[in-house]
Structure 1
Amino acid sequence: HELPQSLNLEKQETFPFGSNEHSFSLSCLGYRKDCRFPQAQVSGSQLQEAQAFAVLHEMLQQSFSLFHTERSSAAWDTTLLEQLRTGLHQQLDDLDACLGQVMGEEDSVLGRMGPTLAMKRYFQGIRVYLQEKGYSDCAWETVRVEI
């Protein structure tokens, strides 16, 4: 199965925060944190197709949820944030259309397996970090750069 074009995760219009004009503020350097993205557990070459779809879905769902969290617009261009939310929503819709064909009844089982669980833990760590930092502008900037 091939992913729809809208699921090209490198498209700048979907993830509009990667350009140099939105680089990390020097005033927030003390907030930097390694959120430890679980690269080894979610590497595409190591996953079966259904697992890869489950991990991608979890990543998009968690990102979508994260950017609707308290003060998620802190220190961000609200137009770009809305573009990101809209892009994530569209990608989730497109992925959902593919999931039924690929996963079937495996869905609930795959959601509890290592790679998907690793992605859930990663985002939980980000949420804990934000909470510990009081959802400050610099904490959100750190998360923006991480994502």
Structure 2
Amino acid sequence: MEAGTTNGEILNRLNTLLTRTRDGEWGYQEAAENVKDTELKSLFLTQSRQRGEFAAEIDREIRMLGGDPETTTSLAADLHRAWINIKTTFTGNDDKAVVEECKRGDGQALDDYQEILKNTYLMASTRELLLNQKERIESAHASMGRLAKVV
């Protein structure tokens, strides 16, 4: 953990996480729109709403720390963002491929959370918020892994 992390660096890292969380929200929404199975559609919409809630929580945290939250997603900016390849996955109309892409996106999100939690000095309340969100994403990631085997 970096002991000398400045408030500006913390805000930048939280804004990066906020942007990527919005990517997850968009990705799950896109997934819901592109699967045939109604149960998958419902699951993806639930995950999209959850990521939206996470984004709102991170947004509030950034404001509480005196920052200005980012208002965009990263889709146009970086090919390595969690959900950038999801559109190509949908062209085959394959529910299994969509589930696998959601799993991959959740894996990237977990990496993002791990990075900020490991390398940033955070207030206890911020750390607790991110740990709680990370735990819920781990659960979704595990669910996507199980689903990919049966879809």
**Alignment TM class, shorter chain as reference:** 0.3 to 0.5
TM-score, normalised relative to structure 1 = 0.44
Structure with more contact order per residue of length (Cα contacts < 8 Å, sep ≥ 6): 1
TM-score, normalised relative to structure 2 = 0.43
* Greater share of residues in helix: 2
